Amino acid sequence: MSRTVSEQKRTWTTGTAPGIFPLLGHAIAFYRRPLACLNSLPAHGDLVEIRLGPQRAWMVCHPELTHEVLMDPHTFDKGGPLYDRLGKLMGDGLVTCRQPTHRDKRRLLQPAFRPSHVGAYADLITEEAEAVCETWPAGRTVPVTEAMMGLTTRVISRVLLSDSLDDTTAAAVRDCLTDVVRGLFVRTVVPIDALFRLPTPANRRYRRALTRLHAIIDTVITERRRGADRDDVLGTLLAATRGDGGAPAITEQEVHDHLITLLLTGAETQALCLAAAFSLLARHPEAERRLHAELDSVLGEGRRPGPDDLPRLVHTRCVVSETLRHSSPGWLFTRVTTRETELAGCRLPAGAAVLYSPYLLHHDPVTFPEPERFDPDRWLPGLPTVEQRRAMMPFSAGGRKCLGDEFAMVEAVLALATIAGRRRLRHLPGYVERPPRPGITMGPRALVMACETRSSAAGAPRPSTSRTAGEHRVDNA
Ligand code: HEM
């Protein structure tokens, strides 16, 4: 049943989701049909009470209410079922740390991911993307998600650790991350620890992957300490353990936590975004045609894109933005109230779990008409409305917004431009579009596609020298 609460500016509605099972609450529905379950919640209010196992939790279903939560991280701190689980993996790293220690950690890591700095990573991104194309001969079936995980793991590990990971170790990191991410989701929606202590194959696989990942990070740190200083994120972290730069020294454990955090966040979401983009493009020939036209016009005969091309890759950026709206890899996040508080007129006790979902906000038909339609043109300069910009939060908002948002956009645009400039990916005969099965992140986890060489790139027009890209002006891109 719903009740209406009048606020100074807005009237919020609150309610409870129906269908609570004893002990498991809504966990079964969330595990089996998470997106359908999410989409059903706004019908019950702007703030909807659900049960995750025996725990009460509140789902925020309106963009403005979501901003209210995200803009007050002292009251709505990191915590709740997701972060309780992630904390076991990432310790006290930037993603999981509580608000009182957040500012110093963010200050330490921010410089490497400042917008002014990310252009410096362009070469390594396109080099790795080109290497993927070389392993994709025309006429072959290619494991797209696996290749994107490989690509993004190598890119983020080069940003963090220069060349400290050899190919075999990078592949081991990629495989461990895949197993860990799979295991984390079920532990989030079914927060009953005893189940995960059972010696099942899945539980063993999860624990093995965790142990291996921690061991790899420890080895990398130990070897760097024995060798020369490097100008990368690990170099910054090790300098911080000596208290260089005047800030209080950080501990060895913090170095470890930061590295594992950045490896996981920097590889997984990014790989799913790229895989989802290829899948969506193959199902939307007109969007794909416009992307190819832009790439041929801006990059000509297969030239590698560089940072100077970014302002002209307007349609490419629109494809990435629309992928992030349509198939946002980060689809569900939790917070915990640090004190008794009021949200949407509802009294929440201290320790209450509050959830928000970019997927839910991005699929609201009032904000994004025909939300299931993949339409990159929604993001052409000047077209998104204020409401759409407010509701679009693939990287979250407020002080805990993604550290790597700008880096992620640059990596996705350059990798997509490099690969789509050289290869065309088609779904295999008999491919059926199925609702994505979310884990801790969401996206096509095992996408396999057919690879063709792009013939149009060879006969493409010469690179454009005008300030227009493809069919669009780009001055405010
Ligand atoms: C498409 C790619 C990405 C998406 C969709 C994404 C999404 C997000 C979201 C939604 C959050 C906020 C989580 C919350 O509110 O609880 C976040 C936080 C974070 N992301 Fe990303 N992310 C992406 C790529 C990256 C990359 C490449 C990095 C590596 C640098 C990164 C590092 C982080 C960190 C460290 C945080 C925590 C920030 C803080 O609390 O201060 N992310 N990300």
Residue type, 110: Q
Distance 86 CA to ligand 1 centre (A): 13
The pLDDT, as a whole number, for residue 465 is 32
Class of domain 3-473: mainly alpha
> Quick one: pLDDT at residue 88?
80
Average pLDDT, rounded, for the chain: 88
Atom of ligand 1 nearest to the CA of 83: 16
Report pLDDT for 36.
Answer: 85
pLDDT at 157: 92
Which of 104, 128, 148, 265 has most ligand 1 atoms within 8 Å of CB, for mutation?
265
pLDDT confidence of residue 94: 96
How far, in Å, is the centroid of ligand 1 from the Cα of 408? 9
- Give the Å distance between the CA of 265 and the centre of ligand 1: 6
Q: Which segments in the chain show pLDDT lower than 70?
A: 1-9, 19-26, 188-191, 455-477
- How far apart are the CA of 401 and the centre of ligand 1, in A? 7
Q: Which of 402, 407, 409, 414 to mutate to test the pocket of ligand 1 (most atoms within 8 A of CB)?
A: 402
Apex 394 CA angle, 9 and 153, nearest 5: 160
Point out the ligand 1 atom lying closest to the alpha carbon of residue 102. Answer: 41
Q: Residues lining ligand 1, judged by CB closer than 6 Å?
A: 94-95, 106, 113, 261-262, 265-266, 269-270, 273, 329-330, 333, 394-396, 400, 402-404, 407-408
Q: Please report the pLDDT score of residue 107 as a whole number.
A: 94
Distance CA 461, CA 458 (A): 9
What was the pLDDT predicted at 201? 87
- Using the mean position of ligand 1's atoms as its centre, give its distance from the Cα of residue 229 in Å: 27
Position in ligand 1 atom list of the atom nearest CA 393: 10
